[in-house]
Structure 1
């Protein structure tokens, strides 16, 4: 028997758009005072096998409440059959590690909405956690080593600016202008020839104050769907967020790291 949970409403406010959505309120607190790291993994609704791969690999460790990981999904862009929907309910009931945002479709054009909603969820339910890792579903993370670098290197960077994003900086990335390209961004959303330096999207780590700064500044920012350029490029140059290039830690390219595939 699947238990019913209480829904909770949220709103995403950018300068050029406003989205109302709701989530199922967690039936138990997802974080405690001991939680240090929140891992947010945007993934498609139907990717059950991939979620199980991740659960059975780098999330298959006991972190004694210090790490909280959640898969991020949104509304299906098509009508789900009852069997598929029941499988998702059963999966969530078993693992309690999926956040479903209801109010926008789960398509690439809405990835920035999924990530923004995930930041809101983090702040609402895990605000004490100092670190937030956004990681793509085809990446592997060695969490003990990441914690080592946080303790021995990255937290010292916060002495310069406690609102910092860590990752692998991608400089001089041109804006795609082809209207039929997946990464096309129109002039009214971003008009410069090049994006500001930003963190490559497969993974980046945000301090608590960096997440807070994004949430505060969002209503002044024109949003577009190239999520990494938006949150780690446009937001920092319009706020007090710093970027810290840690290319030796965040090896986000195929030749550097093992990727999952379905």
Structure 2
């Protein structure tokens, strides 16, 4: 019986391997003749080297009270923010999410669908962490060369280190797009009405260069169960409730708040829950104004129904972003529903 089970597992493994190779055969053939944009495995050295645009990468330091991390931007877009760029959007992604990124490029990040993107009023980039997977590196090289919208860091990719990825977003804003009024941190499972989002920047009730905008969570208790993903020991945070914070999938930070947040982080221990840390703990310490976007964002795809997709008194759609778009087709569908709202 044990021998049969072992043979069955072995056979199943061979089938999975065969299907994987067969389904990706065209990609393997396409990428096999190209040199990688960066070397693989142990190739990410700590030495400074040239980025894709030919400039020498500088080191950035994520400093916290208990830990310090040094990182670099291995690759940055050649096309940078211009003097008229008002909004820098950085989309959190991972190396293997090719189809997700392509769906975003075809919908809400497409310059053909937004004059603000076309005019460089808005700069949109994806941020990913390095990978040691050779196949992914070949694929990423081709993607970078074709689209020029990728920021690649040498940080380790993990949920527990999202706090560092957000640090990299803020550092990139300061070093490559400092004059832009706003930085939007957004996950890659969002669909966005770019026109509606950009309109919000002109409304002082929705955006401030000194504040943070998004869905505000209040009276959220820390999880004290040690095995839980979001466990917070009392030694890290002893209060009964977290300070009000902005929901992680999407939040807008004003340009005046960005350098203050990076500096203030040095006074605190490193957290796992990045939105609570950056927008709640740091935001409270700096007394940063929070602006609630609850009437303009949907958290789940099931909320994409006519009764929620309403118009404002000014005759424009109220909702300009929806979360939990699982897969490229849902991003396409969600985008079409957001853009399909007709106001009198």
State which of 83, 95, 99 in structure 2 corresponds to 1:33.
Answer: 83
Determine the structure 1 residue equivalent to 2:200: 149
Q: 2:214 and 2:176 mapped to 1: Cα distance?
A: 24
CA shift, 1:110, in A, is 0.6
Determine the structure 2 residue equivalent to 1:135: 186
Residue 194 in structure 1 maps to residue 249 in structure 2: no
CA shift, 1:25, in A, is 5.6
Residue 75 in structure 1 maps to residue 125 in structure 2: no
Determine the structure 1 residue equivalent to 2:165: 114
Q: Which has the higher strand share?
A: 1
Query: What is the RMSD computed on CA atoms of the aligned residues?
Result: 2.0
Residue 95 in structure 1 maps to residue 154 in structure 2: no
Residue 58 in structure 1 maps to residue 113 in structure 2: no
CA shift, 1:60, in A, is 1.2
Q: 2:295 and 2:210 mapped to 1: Cα distance?
A: 21
Asked if structure 1 preserves the Cα contact closer than 8 Å seen for 2:77 and 2:151, the reply is no
CA shift, 1:11, in A, is 0.9
CA shift, 1:165, in A, is 0.4
**RCO higher in 1 or 2 (8 Å CA, sep ≥ 6)?**
1
Structure 2 CA distance for partners of 1:89 and 1:187, relative to 1, 3 Å: farther
State which of 206, 210, 215 in structure 1 corresponds to 2:253.
Answer: 206
Determine the structure 2 residue equivalent to 1:233: 280
Could you say what secondary structure the match of 2:251 adopts? strand
CA shift, 1:24, in A, is 2.8
Structure 2 CA distance for partners of 1:29 and 1:58, relative to 1, 3 Å: closer
Structure 2 CA distance for partners of 1:245 and 1:145, relative to 1, 3 Å: same
CA shift, 1:29, in A, is 4.6
Q: 2:92 and 2:105 mapped to 1: Cα distance?
A: 14
Determine the structure 1 residue equivalent to 2:57: 7
Determine the structure 2 residue equivalent to 1:165: 212
Structure 2 residue runs without a partner (length 5+): 1-33, 38-49, 304-321, 328-344
Determine the structure 2 residue equivalent to 1:260: 325
What are the equivalent positions in structure 2 for 1:212-223 lying under 5 Å apart? Answer: 212-223=259-270
Asked if structure 2 preserves the Cα contact closer than 8 Å seen for 1:213 and 1:240, the reply is no
Q: 1:48 and 1:28 mapped to 2: Cα distance?
A: 20
What do residues 109-168 of structure 1 show as CA deviations (whole Å, max 9, x unaligned)? Answer: 01111011111011100000001111111111111111112113447x64xxx4200111
189-198 or 37-46: bigger deviation: 189-198
Residue 124 in structure 1 maps to residue 171 in structure 2: no
Aligned length: 254
Asked if structure 1 preserves the Cα contact closer than 8 Å seen for 2:75 and 2:152, the reply is no
Q: 2:286 and 2:223 mapped to 1: Cα distance?
A: 24
Asked if structure 1 preserves the Cα contact closer than 8 Å seen for 2:249 and 2:323, the reply is no
Q: 1:184 and 1:253 mapped to 2: Cα distance?
A: 24
CA shift, 1:206, in A, is 0.9
247-256 or 229-238: bigger deviation: 247-256
Q: 2:252 and 2:270 mapped to 1: Cα distance?
A: 20
Q: Which has the higher helix share?
A: 2
Asked if structure 2 preserves the Cα contact closer than 8 Å seen for 1:204 and 1:250, the reply is no
Structure 2 CA distance for partners of 1:227 and 1:258, relative to 1, 3 Å: closer
